[in-house]
A and B are shown apart, each in its own frame.
Chain A
């Protein structure tokens, strides 16, 4: 499988209503940046017959209405847009700060993560809250961000047996990935903290606070700050 940025986008048929467009063959910031640019360009133009544009790691899926457009038309449009991609004004990615109370009852696995890597809990917190993580994709559950850029010093295997209920807002690590659970769900990630923010609120005008291509940064907060923010969010 070819990795890196493709010279030309690769088109794949996802049934009679979906066209998948691949821009590269690996998990790579440059490729993801291109996915973001193309997806925003398409959303700005919203060509006739395009119902939905879904950006992910290295591809985007165009959901279309077969009564209003055809894949060949969409392929031509993508190829044309790609040539002018540099001229299209797209907003810079957002950096969304997520306050996290690390350890204690919110991060029951933080000591295990520290021990595994011969680190102190404070070092785990520092290493985890330092980077700006690229959101490569949102999915799996509503608002779940797939993040890139976890420090190698924190790579930790999943739990041997998953928890049946990981509380909403939990921040975890699984192998080379880190993420945060916007809704309660079963999960096998090592939990190191929790955010009081409502990451997914269907009644809010913007149900989620970020989109694929944006960045997340985790900011350590105290338990009293957690409680204060929790109240503000109206839990």
Chain B
């Protein structure tokens, strides 16, 4: 039996989890929730394991008819969620029952929202993950974004004994300009002034911004004299800042596997969620970071999430 009937799907709603790690050597991008932090918090709130699948909404949310009693939590972008036409807050759990109507509108802040449900979204695992990779037409709901009339199922899980709410201090703010810390490399030695340009300028998110990458507009990032503009194709990591022939940087994200352009720097893991919440027109500023500092921040975030799991549970 289904849990939700999709009445209106929203512009781009896909099923995502932690991602399809381990298959990049076969040409499979990792996919997964672009804002890994909001994703984790949504699952923590409803009491799911960290691996459970959620629905990622982009720019605007869907209209869903509820067919089964479950707890839900929406995190990430504020899409003005309503339950039976009454406003409901993000970052908190809500018990919904058969016959209820969940509606969302356009984003007020942020870009992507995550709907976690008791038991997680139930679609078949493809190569170890439930994440949708629309480019390869695989994973998620038949490899595609949700459509009107789809019935979304959920796994088994226990309803919460009482509602949960994320402490105010844990709720991220999606402010503009967006500060992104980045580690120089892998090809930072191909640049000289280009590094000063990148770390000293403001860049605007262009209309070409999706799960593959965000193209930016701003001062051209130029390779040093004599450095080749392209390299022998190599794997890319989410966060890699690629500089193609037009010198306009692109931040690569989770649906990219290989590339032949130089990458001047790589956004650190804990800052990628901020990219996920940025929309065209937002301003990015890059700040230089070391690997050691990035690892310290990563461990700190993992500890914070572990403490949060304890606190909520």
Contacts and interface: CB of A to CB of B under 8 A. Distances in A.
Nearest to B267: A15
A207 B127 contact: yes
Given A14-B237, A200-B26, 16 more contacts: A1-B228, A13-B185, A15-B268, A39-B25, A55-B25, A67-B298, A67-B299, A137-B233, A137-B258, A139-B27, A139-B233, A141-B135, A142-B138, A144-B27, A203-B126, A207-B23
Contacts of A137: 233, 258
Contacts of B136: 141-142, 183
A138 B28 CA distance: 9
Interface string A138-167: 111111101000000000000000000000
B232 A61 contact: no
B118 to A, nearest CB: 28
A61 B291 contact: no
A26 B233 CA distance: 11
Most B Cβ at <10 Å: residue of A27, A54, A71, A138: A54
A3 to B, nearest CB: 10
Interface of A: 1, 12-18, 20, 26-27, 39, 51-59, 61, 63, 66-67, 70-71, 137-144, 146, 182-183, 200, 202-203, 207-208, 211-212
Nearest to B289: A16
B103 interface: no
16 contacts: A13-B291, A14-B263, A15-B183, A16-B298, A20-B235, A53-B25, A54-B235, A63-B21, A66-B295, A139-B258, A140-B257, A140-B258, A142-B138, A143-B27, A146-B233, A182-B27
B26 A211 contact: yes
A61 B235 contact: yes
B26 A143 contact: yes
A212 B28 CA distance: 14
B21 A20 contact: no
B266 to A, nearest CB: 3
Contact of B257 (A18, A139, A200): A139
Given A56-B235, A58-B232, A211 B25 contact: yes
A200 B143 CA distance: 15
A16 B269 contact: yes
A143 to B, nearest CB: 6
Contacts of A13: 183-186, 266, 291
Given A51-B21, A54-B25, A141-B135, A15 B240 contact: yes
B266 A52 contact: no
A138 B258 CA distance: 9
A146 to B, nearest CB: 7
Tell me what chain A mostly uses at the interface: helix, strand, loop, or mixed: loop
Given A61-B237, A202-B126, A14 B27 contact: no
B201 interface: no
Nearest to B136: A142
Most A Cβ at <10 Å: residue of B23, B228, B235, B291: B235
Contacts of B263: 14
Contact of B266 (A15, A143, A203, A208): A15
Contact of A138 (B26, B135, B186): B26
A54 B24 CA distance: 7
B21 A18 contact: no
B218 to A, nearest CB: 21
Contacts of B158: none
Tell me what chain B mostly uses at the interface: helix, strand, loop, or mixed: mixed
Interface string B289-313: 0010011001100100000000000
A208 B26 contact: yes
Nearest to A1: B228
A235 B228 CA distance: 44
A15 B237 contact: yes
A116 to B, nearest CB: 25
Given A12-B186, A140-B257, A56 B27 contact: no
A71 B291 contact: yes
Interface string B83-99: 00000000000000000
A70 B291 CA distance: 9
B257 A15 contact: no
B18 to A, nearest CB: 12
Interface in B100-124: none
A15 B27 contact: no
A5 to B, nearest CB: 14
Closest 10 CB pairs of A and B: A15-B266, A12-B186, A16-B294, A139-B258, A13-B185, A61-B235, A18-B237, A139-B27, A66-B295, A139-B257
